[in-house]
Structure 1
């Protein structure tokens, strides 16, 4: 009986290379049904307790600070005060010794995002000029987050804060006030994390859900891609008459945080579908024109729930992130709540995700595309 001769290893490698070498091949693989199915698989939570505590710390910060601001003469700064609370989400997987300095560092970045974007908005009247500054900040925060090993939620929080600060301040005093409001709440977040650090479980110094540390050159190239992509996404949103084009940059950064093409696509699908479903939750809430106190309560609830479910699947997290983000955008004008922002949030997210995938594929290296092909065809590429 004639036995089948084994195929030379070189031939197998050549087939694999031909399958995944071209950008069109990579795009085709990303658009397969199996890729979309993979986007909705549930992951194992590394530590539900750490997620629970991070959500509780952020929600507690929001409730205490926003209630105090609402009762104070500075209630008009609620929209900027709320931007300080998400700082508590950082460092959940850091060691006890590293957690507080890391959260403090993120607090400084958050305050810096509000200050720089506020000053730029005051000095630059054209909207396009502000969008350019926001695109540059998106790349800068992306670069810093990777190099400083900040972990999740990464540059997304800083880009969101910058985009929320694009309104034109009326004076230098207004800039100081809104920056201070963010700083005070961010400081409270640092304090709450420090005081409750004792109840955290001890963890190793590894941080899950983080892009691998790259060389300086690679980080600079990745940041440049984010700048170009954010600018393109926001200009597209502006061309479509979107009133919050900065949200497109947020969507793009969320997708480009993925460590490879496969994760990029997963996050694009998860963020788009999750945002659309989350918008259906936000719509009836905003349609009721809730009071400030109701919005604060709902905001804290969603902030807590997000951290419980987002570790299982990013799309699940968007079910609560979307209402939370929309409520945060409405806090500065509680008497003029509108549901018009709901469909715009979906549009901006879709634009950001689409541009992110386009940039990721166009700027991908042969190694990136081969990694995708090897994963798709079941070949192990390394640990």
Structure 2
């Protein structure tokens, strides 16, 4: 894998995302409720949006992300309280992956895939949830998303007071200008991406369940992660990067957590990995996965102490390979469809 190149803006985004997840996790640690770590972490994903966008545009991107994340967390929490029935979860997954793909294309969101929306839905649906805690868990996610929203928009005031010219190194010019593309819903390439995701999540998730693999949602999340965004080139390199990066990341997780460290240490792992993941993801996806994987496994480790680390690690590798393999087949199929139908840009 080629060496990634870092930018000051990437470091800024990484530190912001780390702060967004660190504060709610430390509060949960203080009150003895780290079993709710997943809800705080997914709400904090709001801080991942709006990268390099002027604040008049960023407010739209971050607000859409916050609303959709809280909505998917809420749906997952209700499904969990009902006993995680597949008859309900599968249609909801299809709706989320479809709307997430269309929203990302219409509003030119970055990240440009429905990955985090799907991740939030499936993980929250898998966490055992007593009915009387539905409101608490959704409320926690909403508070975390609101805090992340404020954190992401906070630079507006700093820039307004000091001006970008006062510190051109730290206060970079914000150049990304996403427009609202109302033609996306009529674009055949967008619907091709929707079809890839819908078919892929059903196939990957179905295979994982049929073979009795634990944490079947990782196969689905891996599938969504390797399907290119709508209108993007269909390359299998993303799938290969995900497998290699994940395997290295699993090894790193085992080294960090095999000795059953304290919750504060695990929170530290999550925060540090969040920084490096955001710093590297724009430069090289496979390298970022070396840090994304320990972050995801550490959240699971905090939320579910009943599952052995070795089980989490093995499941993560097997289901990543499964999701990536299905993704590669769908990428190849999309190449063929684009060639036959003349959909390529």
Cα distance in 1 for residues equivalent to 2:232 and 2:59: 33
Q: CA deviation at 1:43?
A: 6.3
Cα distance in 1 for residues equivalent to 2:30 and 2:175: 42
Asked whether the 8 Å contact 2:193–2:229 carries over to 1, the reply is no
Which residue is equivalent to 2:96? 137
Asked whether the 8 Å contact 1:132–1:231 carries over to 2, the reply is no
Cα distance in 2 for residues equivalent to 1:368 and 1:44: 34
Q: What is the aligned counterpart of 2:278 among 299, 307, 313? A: 307
Which residue is equivalent to 1:190? 149
Q: What is the aligned counterpart of 1:229 among 197, 200, 205? A: 200
Which residue is equivalent to 1:157? 116
Deviations 1:177-216 (A, max 9, x none): 2111111111111111122343642222346xxx9x8452
Cα distance in 2 for residues equivalent to 1:259 and 1:102: 17
Which residue is equivalent to 1:66? 25
Q: Which runs of 5+ in 1 are unaligned?
A: 1-39, 373-380
Cα distance in 2 for residues equivalent to 1:200 and 1:157: 28
Which residue is equivalent to 1:378? none
> Rg: which structure is higher?
1
Cα distance in 1 for residues equivalent to 2:109 and 2:339: 24
> SS at the partner of 1:289?
coil
Normalized against structure 1, the TM-score is what? 0.77
Cα distance in 2 for residues equivalent to 1:190 and 1:61: 9
Which residue is equivalent to 1:321? 292
Q: What is the aligned counterpart of 2:216 among 234, 241, 245? A: 245
Asked whether the 8 Å contact 2:234–2:334 carries over to 1, the reply is no
Cα distance in 2 for residues equivalent to 1:272 and 1:228: 20
Cα distance in 2 for residues equivalent to 1:153 and 1:65: 26
1:169–1:322 Cα change, 3 Å: closer
Q: CA deviation at 1:102?
A: 1.7
Asked whether the 8 Å contact 1:289–1:337 carries over to 2, the reply is no
Match runs of 1:253-272 below 5 Å: 253-258=224-229, 263-272=234-243
Q: Which runs of 5+ in 2 are unaligned?
A: 160-169
Which residue is equivalent to 2:167? none
Measured on the aligned residues, the alpha-carbon RMSD in Å equals 2.8
Cα distance in 2 for residues equivalent to 1:226 and 1:340: 27
1:335–1:225 Cα change, 3 Å: closer
> SS at the partner of 2:126?
coil
Deviations 1:42-73 (A, max 9, x none): 5666xx12211111011112221111122126
Asked whether the 8 Å contact 1:258–1:264 carries over to 2, the reply is no
Normalized against structure 2, the TM-score is what? 0.85
Q: CA deviation at 1:221?
A: 3.7
Cα distance in 1 for residues equivalent to 2:18 and 2:29: 16
Cα distance in 1 for residues equivalent to 2:291 and 2:112: 15
Cα distance in 1 for residues equivalent to 2:184 and 2:136: 38
1:306–1:241 Cα change, 3 Å: same
Asked whether the 8 Å contact 2:234–2:331 carries over to 1, the reply is no
Q: CA deviation at 1:364?
A: 3.7
Q: What is the aligned counterpart of 1:76 among 20, 23, 35? A: 35
Q: What is the aligned counterpart of 1:333 among 304, 308, 320? A: 304
Q: CA deviation at 1:104?
A: 2.2
Structure 1 runs of 4+ aligned residues shifted over 6 Å read 369-372
Cα distance in 1 for residues equivalent to 2:136 and 2:197: 30
Number of residues of Structure 1 aligned to a counterpart in Structure 2: 330
